[in-house]
Amino acid sequence: MNTSEDRKPVGLLLVVEDTKADVRLLKESFRESGVMVESTVVEDGEEAMAYLLRRGRFNNAPRPDMVLLDLNLPRKDGREVLLEIKSDPQLKSIPVVILTTSTAEEDVVECYDLGANCYVVKPIDLDEYIRATRALAEFWFTVAKYPET
């Protein structure tokens, strides 16, 4: 089993997710996948925007390399967060990956319409979940190229 404590994180992840068990599962699955990521967790859409726009307690927050966004969030819905990120000239180049349980076609279509970079349905099986998180990290943190900020 890979332990990656000795490695440098490949990127900074902003996780927007209100379920603690889901957050933990995500972290554990990154850990199981052997990919070292640094992550910050916010629990709703308002906080996500505050973080990205460096408001309030987030005034010194670093710019994330990727946003993992749940759709059903308290206060501000994931779709609104997505729209705001993709309408903001400063933020829109940050890849936003929708990570949700919804398999509904209309959600998939809407998210891509709003500019989502990728739509991932949370796999039910842990092994698949680990595979998915590894693939995400590998692609968005190592394969993809972004503008220098």
Partner 1 sequence: MGERDVVVMVVENPEMRENLLRVLEQAGFGFVMEEVAIAELRNTEVLKESERKFRELFEGASDAIFVIEVGDDNTPGHFIEANGAATQMLGYSRDQLLSMTPNDIGLQREDLYLFTGPVMGDLSTIEVTLVAEDGRKIQGESSTRIVEVSGSMILMCIIRDITERKRVEEALTRENEVTKAMNDLKSALLASSSIEELSSRVFKYAKQLTGGGIGLVGYIELDTGDLVATTLSEEMWDVCNVRDKDPVFHKIGGLLGWILDNKMPILANSPKLDPRSGGVPEGHLPIDRLLGVPAVLGNNVVGLLAVANASREYCDEDLATMQRLAAFYSLAIQHKRSEEVLAKHVENLARSNADLQQFAYIASHDLQEPLRMVSSYVQLLARRYQGKLDKDADEFIEFAVDGAHRMQALINGLLEYSRVSTRGIQFEPVSCDAVLDSALRNLQVAVEESGAIVTRDPLPEVNGDAVQLVQLLQNLIVNAIKFRSDDPLCVHVSVEMTGDEWIFSVRDNGIGIAPENAERIFQLFERLQTEKGGTGLGLAICRKIVERHHGRIWVESELGRGSIFYFTIPVDTYEH
Interaction site with partner 1 (CB under 8 A): 21-22, 25, 28, 32, 101, 122, 124-127, 129
Beta bridge partners of 143: none
Q: How far is the C-alpha of 55 from the C-alpha of 43, rounded, in Å?
A: 16
Nearer to partner 1, 129 or 140 (CB): 129
Nearer to partner 1, 37 or 85 (CB): 37
Q: How far is the C-alpha of 14 from the C-alpha of 67, rounded, in Å?
A: 5
Q: How many CB atoms lie within 10 A of CB 125?
A: 8
Nearer to partner 1, 23 or 48 (CB): 23
The least CB distance from residue 59 to partner 1, in Å, is 35
Nearer to partner 1, 12 or 25 (CB): 25
The least CB distance from residue 111 to partner 1, in Å, is 19
The least CB distance from residue 108 to partner 1, in Å, is 15
The least CB distance from residue 41 to partner 1, in Å, is 17
The least CB distance from residue 109 to partner 1, in Å, is 16
Instruction: Give the phi and the psi of residue 98 in degrees, each rounded to 5.
Output: -80, 125
Q: How far is the C-alpha of 103 from the C-alpha of 122, rounded, in Å?
A: 9
By 3-state DSSP, what share of the chain in percent is helix, strand and coil, each rounded to 5?
A: 40, 15, 45
Q: Which two tokens stand for residue 98?
A: 């929708």
Nearer to partner 1, 3 or 59 (CB): 3
> Maximum Cα–Cα distance for the chain, whole Å?
43
